[in-house]
């Protein structure tokens, strides 16, 4: 039996994570895990709070686990808890220790970091169009501090897809 390989796509908001996840899943004929935060926030009838981030983290992992049971060899994740960690620290100044524990316990075979070199698109759930450079630096620093090997993806969607596919081929 082949062990399931997990790919985590991370990066600041509006950097093409969802588009890349869908494209990778289509080309690789596999499943992808959407960003649970969108579903959670769309259903919320109040502004979100820091405590909601733990619920989002738990929901993300539960969704990933559910889709993983329906997946044979490669699972493409359109976010992971690195994103929630940075979101929490950037917005609130810290991160719930439970999220950090969940992050430490969940392993991925590859991390793809999407760069900010694509145009910003407005979306009611996006918050920081002027701080993308700062956020990109936080992603690089966080991935390094967690000793996670990552590949940075820049350029057109086609270039990003080809580079991501080459990472997957090496797994």
Structure tokens at 121: 């698109």
Reply yes or no on whether the pLDDT at 22 is more than 80: yes
Domain 5-169 has CATH 3.40.50.300: yes
Confidence of residue 2 (pLDDT cuts 50, 70, 90): low
Structure tokens at 130: 């002027």
Asked if residues 91 and 138 have their Cβ atoms less than 8 Å apart, the reply is no
Going by C-beta distance under 8 Å and a sequence separation of 6 or more, which residues neighbour residue 66?
none
Q: Name the average pLDDT for the chain.
A: 95
Give the predicted TM-score (pTM) of the model.
0.95
User: How many C-beta atoms lie closer than 10 Å to residue 114's C-beta?
Assistant: 25
Rounded Cα distance between 162 and 112, Å, is: 12
Residue range 119-125: mean pLDDT, rounded: 73
Asked if residues 4 and 68 have their Cβ atoms less than 8 Å apart, the reply is yes
Confidence of residue 129 (pLDDT cuts 50, 70, 90): confident
Identify the H or E element spanning 86: helix 81-92
Reply yes or no on whether the pLDDT at 63 is more than 90: yes
Helix (H, G, I), strand (E, B) or coil at 76: strand
Check residue 124 and give its pLDDT. 67
β-partners of residue 31 are 75
Q: What is the pLDDT of residues 70-109, one digit of tens each?
A: 999 999 999 999 999 999 999 999 999 999 999 999 999 9
Q: What is the pLDDT of residues 131-161, one digit of tens each?
A: 899 999 999 999 999 999 999 999 999 999 9
Determine what percent of the chain is predicted with pLDDT higher than 90. 91
Check residue 120 and give its pLDDT. 79
Determine what percent of the chain is predicted with pLDDT higher than 70. 96
């Amino acid at each position: 039996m082949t062990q399931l390989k997990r790919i985590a796509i991370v990066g600041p908001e509006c950097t093409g994570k969802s588009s890349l996840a869908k494209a990778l899943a289509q080309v690789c004929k596999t499943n992808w895990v959407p960003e649970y935060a969108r579903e959670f926030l769309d259903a919320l009838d109040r502004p979100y709070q820091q405590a909601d981030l733990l619920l989002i983290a738990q929901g993300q992992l539960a969704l990933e686990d559910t889709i993983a049971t329906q997946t044979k060899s490669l699972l493409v994740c359109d976010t992971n808890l690195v994103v929630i960690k940075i979101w929490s620290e950037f917005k609130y100044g810290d991160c719930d220790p439970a999220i950090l524990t969940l992050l430490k316990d969940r392993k991925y075979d590859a991390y793809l970091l999407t760069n900010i070199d694509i145009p910003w698109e407005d979306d009611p759930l996006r918050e920081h169009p002027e701080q993308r450079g700062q956020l990109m630096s936080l992603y690089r620093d966080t991935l390094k501090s967690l000793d996670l090997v990552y590949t940075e993806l820049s350029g057109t969607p086609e270039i990003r897809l080809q580079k991501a596919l080459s990472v997957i081929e090496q797994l």
